[in-house]
Structure formats: structure tokens, C-alpha cells
Amino acid sequence: MLGHFRDNTRGAAAIEFGVLVPLLTLMVISVVDVGLAVYRKMQVEDAAQAGVEYAVAHGFDANGISAAVANATNSTAITANPGPTKYCGCATASGVNSMTCGSVCPGGALAGTYTTVTAQALYWTIINYQVVPTSYSISMQSTVRLQ
């Protein structure tokens, strides 16, 4: 009688399916979660870029730049924090060195006027994975020369 049960494989596929479904579901949710996090990062990058584009088109206006950052995407979680800054500096290979306005740069040119826009947002994971944080702060910064 025991030999009959040992050779019977009916229902084995249903049991395997029942064991694998939770694992496959977790994998799908994890992939969707990573995709949403990458999408939020792209939204924050676009918002920072929209802020400097506004500064180029309209000049430095902190309120206008902040509004451009906030309205750049359909997400209400993205803010211009800290607010946009305006400063004078000289462009170098490693970035912009802050200088006093009207001073002469090492290359002989006058210091330019720059603005830096920072956009940030929080991303909350879909589920609590226990091994990674449940929220991430995403922050991007763009700098542009105005004059």
C-alpha cells in the first residue's frame, strides 16, 4: 500500500505552484519597487533641471525657480529644498570656485554669476523588506551660469 502512494505524483504541480507563488510575488513587487524608485529619481533630476532652465529664461527669482521645481513633474513630493542660491564664481575643471563678483578669474575672465538649484523628494518602499530602509531621500543639484 505504501508503494502506491510513493509512485503517485498527482497534485505535485499544485503543491510546487503553492510553494513558489509567494516567492514569485515578492520578486515582482521588488522589481516594481526598484522601478518606482528609479522613476522618482528621474523626476527629481528633471525638477532640478527645470529650475535652472527657469533661471536661464527669466533670471534669478527664488520664488519662480522654486515654483518651477515644484511644478516640473506630476509629483507633489518634490520640493526645492534648500532654496536656490545665487553667487559669483570662476569655472574650473572640478566645478565652480566661489569668488567675489567683479573679480578676475585665474584665466583672466571676470567671475560669472551662477545659480544652484536643489530638488529633493522622499521615496517610501512598497513593503518593509526588513534589511533595507523603508524610505530614501533623493536629492539632485543643478548649477548654471547666468551671466
Would you state the pLDDT for residue 97? Answer: 86
Q: What is the pLDDT of residue 1?
A: 58
Which segments of the chain are extended strands (E)? 85-92, 95-98, 112-124, 135-145
pLDDT < 70: residue spans in the chain:
1-7
Q: How far is CA 34 from CA 125, 131, 138, in A?
A: 8, 15, 14
Domain parsing of the chain, residue ranges: 2-145
pLDDT digits (tens, 9 = 90+) for 91-117: 888 888 888 888 898 888 889 999 999
**pLDDT for position 4:** 66
The angle, 0 to 180 degrees and rounded to 10, between the axes of the packed helices 62-70 and 12-58 is: 160
CB neighbour burial string for 105-120, b if at least 16 within 10 angstroms, e if fewer: eeeeeebbbbbbbbbb
Q: Is the pTM of this model over 0.75?
A: yes
69's CB contacts (< 8 A; 6+ apart) are 47, 48, 50, 51, 78, 79, 80, 117, 119
Rg (the chain; Cα; Å): 26
